[in-house]
Structure 1
């Protein structure tokens, strides 16, 4: 496998992982929403741990983050297919390999971020 094939395969795999994470979070949020319908609205005074409202807020935030990661993964694959992956659009220089390893969906180099 060439380096380019490995990079593309890695991006596609990361995209699949973001899809799986988003699907899991959507299922958890749906289950919590159904639970909220059957529970009383006054769960804020329950001394037995986290409230349904705070769980819902946390899951909604995590789901939004997973969806944003999916969009970033799609954009990275498009840049790769256009021959622009790993090139900073602001300065035109290659993004250092270490930066891409740390954040594969990175669009710009650290200096231009």
Structure 2
């Protein structure tokens, strides 16, 4: 049987190894925290992009019939003109409106 080789570390070497291990652990935890924050922000951005897309689609749907505004205005003007004619006629007949 061969004798087992024992490696002895000086107190300085032992402190350096523990410092490296703890430093590595801190770095791993920091990277994990930053990646978690990144994933949360990407999820929030994705959700808000969907909200903006839906809002733009709703705006497009709301303004799809704007071409009818002119025709509707013409119809309203015609109805108002007809109502004015009736008002004037009835006023003359009843002698309440003088033109």
* Shorter-chain TM band: 0.3 to 0.5
Q: TM-score scaled to structure 1, two decimals? A: 0.34
Between Structure 1 and Structure 2, the one with more helix by share is 2
- The structure whose RCO (Cα within 8 Å, separation 6+) is larger is 1
Larger Rg belongs to: 2
